Amino acid sequence: MQIAPSILSADFANLERELQRIADADSAHVDVMDYHFVPNLTLGLPIVEALQRVTPIPLDCHLMIDDPDRWAPAYAEAGAASVTFHIEAAADPRSLARDIHAAGAQACMALKPGTAFAPYEELLEVIDMVLVMTVEPGFGGQSFMADQMPKVREVREAIDRRGGRIRIQVDGGVSASTIEQCADAGADVFVAGSAVYGADDAAAAIGELRRLATACVHH
């Protein structure tokens, strides 16, 4: 069970310090937005390169951008441990996953809440993780969409059926009150923004989220 705090909820003027606050998490979730795929603009490659130089934990880059086929491999080259592209935006996801792997990162595909998983099940052959969005991508602090849990279950069943070792990540409104539903459904990587960065003690919040998730054994 991995906790990946989202720096979308961090203090952007002090990102090095904010990464240190989450040093005992499994990775730092970095939300890249381009004002096209989503109606927000956050940070891009130069900031990721700077974060990579100072981060105590691996970077997990979530690219909410158009044309990831063109832009995503550069994030792997910059040192991100994992690069997530949106399936809705990728022209050739198989080839993109190959390019991300060739650049040294894990490849992950993300699904918006309105996107069905079934048409993309075959891509489990080439990716390392599936991100099921539990809010509409674009902004932090939104409330959790429990109606995405059947999709998480569907992905878990498909992975189990294929015998793969593919992780399932959930992102959006994940907190102490929602993480157990996600773990029960089969998720094993949890992105939490305000639940960690809004806490007085980020390390304690990470520990509590991990404890709650671990207590839910997959059925």
Residues with a catalytic annotation lie at 31, 171
- Collapsing DSSP to helix, strand or coil, 38 comes out as coil
- From 145, 190, 167, select the one nearest 2 (Cα to Cα): 190
**What is the Cα–Cα distance from 127 to 209, expressed in whole angstroms?**
26
- From 116, 108, 49, select the one nearest 79 (Cα to Cα): 49
User: Are the C-beta atoms of 85 and 72 separated by less than 8 Å?
Assistant: yes
- Collapsing DSSP to helix, strand or coil, 113 comes out as coil
Report the C-alpha dihedral over residues 99, 104, 105, 106, rounded to 10 degrees. 80
